[in-house]
Structure 1
Amino acid sequence: MIYPIIAYGNPILKKEAEEINEGEDINELISDMFDTMDNANGVGLAAPQINKGIRLFVIDSALMLDEDSDEKGFRKVFINPIILDEYGDDYSFEEGCLSIPDVRAEITRPETLTIEYFDENWNLKEEEFSGMTARVIQHEYDHLEGILFVDYIKGLKKRLVKSKLIDVSKGKVPTEYSMIYPTR
């Protein structure tokens, strides 16, 4: 099943997501999330973006990598993740979001992270990720914390995107995937 994406302005995107009970059968939801992400040509999707307030996200960071990149991309599931540490040099990259179409901004994040999470089989993992994969994880993890990438924009840049954000919340931005808008 392909879910519609929740648009900027919906309160669920600003709420901290709830933990999933360990062992709960969410395999169908995981499959649906990958289908939804792929349908929208995304590289990550968090459960709040499909109106589910739970600590779950999926990624496919291989889509972010250049052909000549040494980095290996990952198609992964993260259940009840906890970022344990972020470190390394901070670097900027232009980010976007399926919930905020047509808005992009340079966001600075640390290059490496260590994260603890359950995989789709409820195996507890602790792994380190760097580069684009770390960035995709950080972006999706923020969704579980009720943080959007536009929350990092400050000052004049924030004022410049404000009208675009209002347009997104009103459904005045065309997308090739289905969305649910808070005001229309």
Structure 2
Amino acid sequence: MVSLPITQLGDRILRQKALEIKNIHDDRIQKLIDDLIATVAQANGVGIAAPQVAESLRLFIVASHPNPRYPNAPEMEPTAMINPKIIAHSTEVVKGWEGCLCVPGIRGLVPRYQAIEVEYMDRNGKLHKAEFTDFIARIFQHEYDHLDGIVFLDRLESTLDIMSEQEYQKQIVKN
């Protein structure tokens, strides 16, 4: 497992619609999954999408756990989600603070569905259907957006909903 360089905002790949993965069992895809898991752990992230490491593929990892960037994150084993889809969502939308490994130093108060029903293939090619709520639903939606060339800043309702990471740590995390 290798920690990969993280693409930064402004790189065109972050604005592209990612390609569906045809052969999940391909060695390159399996290695990419391992490398994404290593990269998200090294970066203290809770999720990472393939476009964030310059691979325009419909694959992301959800790896929620408490860390310095998200001290209250729930525990979830790193999970590869291949060719994911949101098949249903709640009407309730909740605003919550998000950051992004591609947009260092900035947090935004982003509206997201409170609950989502999803399907995805795991790294073994097995189809999963799941319902996610709260923070895990937020991670899924954030990473799913990366597959469609959307970054969290695009979802902000106002520029007043932006805060520096330093101020976020001081105001939000410490309270």
* TM superposition score category, shorter chain reference: 0.7 to 0.9
Shift of 1:22: 3.5
Would you say the 8 A contact 2:94–2:111 is kept in 1? yes
The 2-side partners of 1:72 and 1:32 are apart by: 20
Matched AA of 1:103: I
Q: Match of 1:96? A: 99
Task: Report whether the alignment pairs 1:13 with 2:14.
Answer: yes
Which deviates the most, 86-95 or 46-55? 86-95
Q: Which runs of 5+ in 2 are unaligned?
A: 165-175
The verdict on how the C-alpha distance between 1:23 and 1:94 changes in structure 2, with shifts beyond 3 A counting, is closer
Shift of 1:65: 6.8
Q: TM-score, normalised by structure 1?
A: 0.79
Q: Match of 2:72? A: 66
Q: After the TM superposition, which residues 20-169 of structure 1 pair with which residues of structure 2 at under 5 Å, given as runs?
A: 20-25=21-26, 26-63=29-66, 64=70, 66=72, 73-157=76-160
The verdict on how the C-alpha distance between 1:86 and 1:65 changes in structure 2, with shifts beyond 3 A counting, is farther
Q: How many residues end up aligned between the 2 structures?
A: 158
Shift of 1:154: 4.0
User: Which structure ranks higher in relative contact order (CA pairs < 8 Å, sequence separation ≥ 6)?
Assistant: 1
The 1-side partners of 2:139 and 2:77 are apart by: 10
What is the RMSD computed on CA atoms of the aligned residues? 2.1
Would you say the 8 A contact 1:62–1:75 is kept in 2? no
| Partner-residue secondary structure (3-state), 1:79 | strand
Report sequence identity in percent.
Answer: 37
Would you say the 8 A contact 1:17–1:55 is kept in 2? yes
